[in-house]
Amino acid sequence: MNITAPTFEWLELAPVLIVLTAAILGVVIEAAVPRAYRLVSQVGLMVVSLVAALAVLVENFVSQRSGTLVSASMVLDGPAYLAWAALLVFGLLSMLLFAERRLGNGSTAFAASAAAVPGSVSESEAAVAQHEHTEVFPLALFSLSGMLVFAAANDLLTAFVALEVMSLPLYLLSAMARRRRLLSQEAALKYFLLGALSSAFFLFGIALVYGYAGSFGFRDIATSIGAPVYGDGLLLTGMGFLAIGLLFKIGAVPFHNWVPDVYVGAPSPVTGFMAICTKFAAVMAVVRVFYVALGAERWSWQPLIAAIAVLTMVVGVVIAVAQTDIKRLLAYSSISHAGFILVAVVGASVGTAAGASSSLASIVFYLVAYGFATVASFAAVTMVRDAAGEVHSITGWSGLARRNPFLASVVALAMLSFAGIPLTGGFIGKWAVFTAAWRGGYSWLVAVAIVASVVAAYVYFKVIIAMFFGEPVAGVEVGKASGFTLVPLVVGAAATLYLGLFPGQLLDLATAVGTFLR
């Protein structure tokens, strides 16, 4: 038996490798650099590495490097480029929030000593000594590297490994909130247990599909669907299990139960990171698995995903109506957005030569618009504070426009984008996914999605009403933030507006390069 050594396409892989190396260097910094300099060196390393990765990515793109990587276990094609660029940008923006110290009077949003029992002496000692967990940066970078691989994985095994690399650091990060630590730890445990369960489903799905196709590779699976050796049973069951694992990560109903609790319990910067980057990577993986590997079988999975999309949108928006906590509201909103994205996934429409946008282009645009609005809203969440830390109740946000019109306007813009009101990126995003679904023959799904949008609008306008028309609540202040929070806030708002007014470039780019390399 001959085993050929895999070839490494170093240049193509460079963005992933840079992020991974930075993560490892970050661990070294924890061991070698004195406490006082750790934060600054971690932030510096993070920014430099992500910018460098982005630069290499752009270089690769301009030089038109593409193809399968590492013996076809990964693939660098148009969608992978788009996903990587977006993940690096959103990763950078949300990790900047990790470094904010001015808002918390000199301490970050993370526990002084996560290992100490909440309320114990050692915890207060660590707090007095102003310890802080700068490990969050390498952890997030590890997670980000997993996401990059996940979005470009070309076989199921690579996808699974990437999924775990992406998830494990997130479980840890979720447990590290400085305030309300028990809630945070509970959230992390819940996330971990459910995440492990979903991974098990995913793994089982991999086994079944392997049994059917005799290979993990997406291309081989697609080939064997065309010329089946075994009956459909293995494939369909395997497909179902794969779907469970993937849909769990994007927070689709009925696999969404972890989302609200984890979003609330985790430190807000981490929630922002999860809400954008995890969702982005997972959606890209969903699209790749279902389009590339299982594309020939789409008559089987389309009804299933359509049903899940309906459930996700409806449950997401209806439960969001009843929320009184801004982070829970954002959590249910993120669930409903997963539903809207699935609407486009179901459409599975391809672009036309004349330049009509494809499902993939619409999904990418939707995610980017959602990402910028999410960055801005989580940056805002960290800024509204009272004596006990962040204020999460929507009644606490009442009258925010009078305390700080700028912040309230940014939040309003993000909410309008979530609601899909024109002049924001969210509107064009909705338009794109609806067009994709309709073109795929799912006009009824578009109708359902639009009904859900009306309900969703009510949810977001509730926040706007509170901020603009409510009376200010005593004790709630808008904290003085440093650039680490203000940059993501302003960039998120500006990009939301830009995408609403000039969506052409991104849409055209996504349409032009949005074909999978099979």
Partner 1 sequence: MTIPWLTLLGLVPLVGAASLLLPVKELSRVLGMFFGLLTAVLAIVVTTLYVGGAALAEQVPWIPAFGAWWALGLNGMSLLMVVLTALLTPVVLLAEWKLPNAGRWSPQVFVALVLFLESLSLFTFMADDVLLFYLFFEATLIPMYFLIGGFGGERRAAAALKFLLFSLAGGLVMLISVVGLGVVSTDLGGTPTYLLAELAKLPIGAELGRWLMVGFLVAFIVKAPMVPVHTWLPTTAEQATPGTSVLLVGILDKIGTFGMIKFCLGLFPEASLWVAPVMVILALISIIYGAVAAIGSTNLLRLVAYTSISHFGFMVLGIYTFTTVGVSGSIFYMLNHGFSTAALFLVVGFLINRRGSAMVADFGGVQKVAPILAGVFLMAGLSGLALPGMSSFVSEFMVLAGAWSRQPWPAAVAALGTVLAAVYIMLMYQRTMTGPVTEASATHITADLNAREKWVVAPLLAIILLLGFVPGIALDLVNPTAAATISHVGAPDPVAPFGGEGK
Shortest CB 341 distance to partner 1, Å = 16
Q: Is position 356 an interface residue for partner 1 (rule: CB under 8 A)?
A: yes
Tokens of 155: 């076989």
CB of 343 to partner 1, least distance (A): 11
Query: Please, which residue, 144 or 320, has the CB nearer to partner 1?
Result: 320
Number of helices followed by number of strands (H, E) in the chain: 21, 5
Name the nearest CA neighbour of 443 among 516, 347, 374: 347
- C-alpha dihedral sign at 468, 472, 476, 482: positive
Phi and psi angles of residue 393, each rounded to the nearest 5 degrees, phi first? -75, 140
Interacting stretch for partner 1, rule CB under 8 A, among 245-253, 279-287, 456-464, 476-484?
456-464
- Phi and psi at residue 153, in whole multiples of 5°? -65, 140
3-state secondary structure 430-467: HHHHHHHHHHCCCHHHHHHHHHHHHHHHHHHHHHHHHH
Three-state DSSP state, 69: strand
* CB nearer to partner 1: pick between 129 and 501: 501
Q: What is the DSSP letter of 277?
A: I
Site string for partner 1, 361-390 (x = CB under 8 A): x-----------------------------
Q: Which is nearer to partner 1, 113 or 349 (CB)?
A: 349
- Contact status: 337 vs partner 1 (CB under 8 A): no
**Binding range to partner 1, per CB under 8 A, among 190-198, 207-215, 298-306, 448-456:** 448-456
Report if residue 458 touches partner 1, rule: CB under 8 A: yes
The span of 104-112, 159-167, 311-319, 462-470 binding partner 1 (CB under 8 A) equals: 462-470
Nearer to partner 1, 37 or 458 (CB): 458
434 binds partner 1 (CB under 8 A): yes
Nearer to partner 1, 233 or 441 (CB): 441
- 160 or 468, CB closer to partner 1? 468
Cα angle for residues 6, 292, 353 (degrees, 5° grid): 120
Beta-bridge mates of residue 454: none
Give the residue from 358, 376, 200 showing the smallest Cα distance to 291.
Answer: 358
Number of residues that bind partner 1 (CB under 8 A): 37
For the bound state, the minimum distance from the C-beta of residue 199 to partner 1, rounded and expressed in Å, comes to 37
Residues linked to residue 441 through DSSP beta bridges, in sequence order: none
Cβ-count burial 123-136 (b if 16+ within 10 Å, e if not): beebbeeeebbbbb
Query: CB of residue 410 vs partner 1: minimum separation in angstroms?
Result: 14
Among 176, 421, 459, 495, binds partner 1 (CB under 8 A): 421
- Choice between 287 and 448, CB closer to partner 1: 448
By CB under 8 A, tell whether 395 contacts partner 1: no
DSSP 8-state code for residue 100: -
**Nearer CB in complex with partner 1: 198/357:** 357
* Whole-angstrom distance, CA of residue 72 vs CA of residue 85: 21
Contacts of 223 (CB under 8 A, 6+ apart): 213
Binding residue (CB under 8 A) for partner 1 from 1, 3, 227, 354:
354
- Give pairs for 318-321: CB < 8 Å, separation 24+: 318/455, 320/456, 320/459, 321/455, 321/458, 321/459
Q: Where are the beta strands (DSSP E) in 307-415?
A: 384-386, 389-390
Stretch that binds partner 1, among 108-116, 164-172, 310-318, 452-460 (CB under 8 A): 452-460
Smaller CB separation from partner 1, 97 or 342: 342
- Rule CB under 8 A: is residue 457 a binding residue for partner 1? yes
422 near partner 1, rule: CB under 8 A: yes
Q: Which of residues 40 and 454 has its CB atom nearest to partner 1 in the complex?
A: 454
By CB under 8 A, what part of segment 489-508 binds partner 1?
Answer: 503-504, 507-508
Residues that bind partner 1 (CB under 8 A): 352, 354-357, 361, 402, 416, 421-423, 427-428, 431-432, 434-435, 438-439, 443, 446-447, 450-451, 453-454, 457-458, 461, 465, 468-469, 503-504, 507-508, 511
